[in-house]
Amino acid sequence: MDAPRLQRLGLVVHPRREIGAALAALRRWCDERAIDIVQVPAQGQARQVAEPGDPGTCDLIVALGGDGTALAAINAGAEHGKPVLGVACGSLGALTAVGADRLLEALDRVAAGDWRPRRLPALVVEQDGVGALVAVNDLVLVRRGAGQVSAAVRVDEELFIRFAGDGLVVATPLGSSAYTLAAGGPMLAPGGAGLVFTPLAIHGGCCPPLVAAPHSRLEIRLEPGPGGARLELDGQIRERIAPLVPHAFTVSLRPEHATVVALGGEEPLLAGLRRRRVIMDSPRMLARDERDAAATSAGHETGKPGI
């Protein structure tokens, strides 16, 4: 990458996690290079560590925390085309490029242009034909109180399913390893593309999760039950939907919506999910590993091959 001089960094920070050492190192690095630091507004951010600033005036946005913090930073920077460096103050995740112990090295490499842009798609959600909400991970339409919601889902104008239940999730490929995975939906492997639809706790019928093409459009007609519903984008409640008032949603995929910094050598997605035990082998396989390890250990102790 070309390396124009960094003049201003934007910050997004975890609301509770320990970030003191990383923040102090970042401030020293910026002071030595006469780089301004501001804190950009982000969804759910109440912890103030710097003067507020406009993300549009920043050359780079740094997220100190975890994947949730990085996601908030991505949403803050995407509108202005600003790249995000995700720094893990804890366990590495899917959106963090480095751990806090390698923050200064990462900043040096970004300043020198030694990084690669990783482009992320996003969901574009139109409600009743008006407006455009955006989500990097997922859209969730879910019941808010007693009773179920009903939905009819069309793919490129063809009816796919009508069902009643708790709601539904529509995810990007990245988001397929978040709420979608937890709800039993399909996870797209790295390099996969498309829209992922997953129903939540349907009441009867047969409604399998669905992977639609990247250029497809999902049309969702939602009928909230007597308890109403809510709309969530990337885990944040954006709207409370009144009971018994039907709404129409159209969901499409916007390619290359946001940019995160990649430095090379990042942990593969599947390896990271296994390390964090988001996905795990079956107990039968783990028990077999334990038996094999015990037999090998016994063989070493006796000098004979394990049985």
CA–CA dist 70, 260 (Å, integer):
9
Question: Which pair of tokens denotes residue 28?
Answer: 């020293």
Q: Which of 14, 36, 138 is nearest to 88 (CA)?
A: 14
Record the tokens describing residue 18, joined without a space.
Answer: 């320990």
Look at residue 200 and give its three-state secondary structure.
strand
Instruction: Give the chain's length.
Output: 307
Query: Which of these, 49, 32, 31, lies nearest to 40 by C-alpha position?
Result: 49
- Alpha-carbon distance 62 to 11, whole Å? 5
CA distances from 180 to 93, 256, 279, 283 (A): 17, 21, 13, 23
3-state secondary structure of 272: helix
Angle, in degrees to the nearest 10, between helices 103-111 and 20-32: 30
269 Cβ partners below 8 Å, 6+ apart? 94, 177, 189, 190
Please give the backbone phi and psi of residue 212, each rounded to the nearest 5 degrees, phi first: -100, 160
Token reading at 200: 């939540």
Say whether 67 is catalytic: yes
Out of 2, 59, 67, 108, the active site residue is 67
Neighbours of 281 (CB within 10 A): 12
CA distance readout (Å), 82 to 64, 164, 176, 183, 260: 16, 41, 24, 32, 9
Residues assigned a catalytic role: 67
